[in-house]
Chain A
């Protein structure tokens, strides 16, 4: 990766400085005064449900939409007045693949390279390099119609890296990908930053923001409602919770007392399911709890750790839940966390 990516322009601390960005569609204030500061060389996560204004914000920062209010600068260059300069500093990977469906992967990358000023030979070399890098060499000649979602995303990301831009926008890079492909994408994103690039990514998954981002902004109804490191954000929301199911319903009360004593928290029992739920303040104590349960002869049917979901983040910060469609989507990564 090192040879592929260009380093951050040194001496400039802020990759993105956005002040009061506004975008209005009809009478819908899609983005309603967004402030963002992204330090160069970091991964910044913008977290929010569908329709929160994430994509619109990215489009304004990437010069694809003109802001109706506020201003934004990319490495100190205004996105409206110096749009053409900004375009030389960024790479954009959209939610839907922004590549040519009728052409092959190779042709796509060659055309983008040529547009960026590479010569014929250079363009082909660059394209093969990137295809190799993203594991697409075998599929290079096939038309994109036959590409899987993951391959398309990888090609899309590859296309954003041709010019080795110091700032890369990734709009929901893993939405709709299976867990294995998602993990590959995460690795790729981490490698990008190791070589000095700055990444701004949007996601619906708290887990993804947590895994990747140095700082996170939670966005809802066009406004940033919380901002901080992943730890700060999670602390404000609450911790993971432990869920236990006992084999013998008769043991449930004893088990609850043990959980409360060992974890020093309040546990909630849902008798119909025979389930005990308790927040994990100190993960270390869980091991002790399990040993104590074993010694007391209480047999467990199931044990899982539930991370706070985007639903809970939202509920805590905004006081209202996530809209329905986003709720469905946010279930996918939660399943991955179950032990």
Chain B
């Protein structure tokens, strides 16, 4: 980019496409921007700090006695469930913030720069993994304080944590899509909650599935959230990697494969 342009050579230097390497580098730069923004406005970490603490406390003490007879017995069930629910809910904010960000003047500059169209989106999503990590660590720490001692051991808990973060990142593409197509930030929040609430609650996150009616059980079994929760439970409580682990990762890959191109296309059309 530093050499002076000349028309004779311009066709060689000016390319209408970005290479993969350039796209990745530009996305990382945008992620760096996202991290700087978090550093400057730490108040936006409010939700990922307090939601894990409050939700873990609430659900454990409300449902613990009724479902498992004791709080301590409920912890191996609820902590993986609440972990998935909390971290995935956090990913909604990605869409909301993206919408807010896109309304600002700086996005006009990003659009006018010769950079990969995916970079501003991928960067924002990448920076948000920091949020998921905070939510994950705090939820697990709360569980530990309440007396949760996962039998799978530390290494398997770490794998489970990474699995949840990866899947939440994949889910955030769905909300990023809403963020790009929606008119206002609050409508992004609305649509996203509407989708996420049934998904997280009609699953095996909080209660045993056996007492549900058949048709609901059927949904719980196909619900990808259930597979993710099961995968986390197997990892944390037994230290095993089962088919649910693979299903979760494949599901995540499918979501990204569908929603990343959709989002980028919608983003480009908006311009």
Contact with A along B111-153 (1 / 0, CB 8 A): 1111100010000000000000000000000000000000000
- Nearest residue, chain A, Cβ from B32: A111
Q: List 6 A-B contacts (CB under 8 A).
A: A99-B105, A111-B32, A115-B30, A115-B115, A116-B1, A143-B40
* A64 CA to B14 CA, complexed, in Å: 19
User: Is A33's beta carbon under 8 Å from chain B?
Assistant: no
- Whether B6 contacts A103 by the Cβ 8 Å rule is no
Among A5-13, A132-140, A202-210, A322-330, the stretch in contact with B: A5-13
Which residues of the partner chain B approach A94 to less than 8 Å between Cβ atoms?
105, 108-109
* Residues of chain A with a CB closer than 8 A to B107's CB: 98
Bound together, the chains give a CA A75 to CA B109 distance in angstroms of 20
The listed residue (B1, B106, B271) touching A100 by CB distance below 8 A is B106
Asked if A318 CB lies within 8 Å of chain B CBs, one says no
Listed from nearest, the 3 A-B pairs whose CB atoms lie closest are A87-B114, A98-B109, A98-B105
A87 and B15 in contact, given A111-B29, A115-B26 (Cβ under 8 angstroms): no
Do the beta carbons of A115 and B40 come within 8 Å of each other? no
Using a CB–CB distance below 8 Å, which chain A residues touch chain B?
A: 6-7, 9-12, 62-66, 75, 77, 82-85, 87-92, 94, 96-103, 107, 111-112, 114-118, 143, 159, 163-164, 166
| Residues of B in contact with A, size category | 35 or more
Whether the pair A87, B113 counts as a contact (CB closer than 8 A) is: yes
Chain B interface helix/strand/loop/mixed: helix
Closest B residue by C-beta to A111:
B33
The answer to whether B108 and A98 have CB atoms under 8 Å apart is yes
A102 and B37 contact, CB distance less than 8 A: yes
Task: Write the nearest CB–CB distance from A132 to chain B, whole angstroms.
Answer: 18
Contact B5 A166 (CB under 8 A): yes
Check if A115 sits within 8 Å of B105, measured CB to CB: no
Q: Check B111–A64 contact: CB distance below 8 A.
A: yes
In the bound complex, residues from chain B placing their C-beta under 8 Å from that of A107 are 36
Give the complex CA separation of A163 and B4 in angstroms: 10
Q: Which of A6, A98, A164 contacts B106 (CB 8 A)?
A: A98
Given contacts A82-B16, A84-B18, A117-B22, contact A92 B112 (CB under 8 A): yes
CB of B40 within 8 A of CB of A102, answer yes
Partner pick for A84 among B1, B15, B41, B108, CB 8 A cutoff:
B15
Q: Is the CB of B104 within 8 A of A101?
A: yes
> B10 interface residue, CB < 8 Å from A?
yes
- 18 extra A-B contacts, CB within 8 A, seeds A12-B7, A63-B112, A114-B25: A7-B4, A10-B7, A11-B8, A62-B112, A84-B114, A85-B14, A87-B113, A91-B112, A96-B105, A97-B105, A100-B37, A111-B32, A111-B33, A114-B29, A115-B119, A116-B115, A117-B1, A163-B114
Q: Are A92 and B108 in contact (CB under 8 A)?
A: yes
Within 8 A of A (CB), among B68-116: 104-115
> What CA separation (Å) do A106 and B22 show in the bound complex?
23
Decide: B6 and A163 in contact? CB cutoff 8 A.
no
Given that A84-B17, A102-B40 are known contacts, is A115 also in contact with B5, CB under 8 Å in the complex? no
Interface centre among B2, B8, B110, B114 (most CB of A within 10 A): B114
Question: How far in angstroms is the closest Cβ of chain A from B119?
Answer: 7
Q: Contact at A10–B109, with CB atoms within 8 Å?
A: no
A92 to B14, CA, bound (A): 18
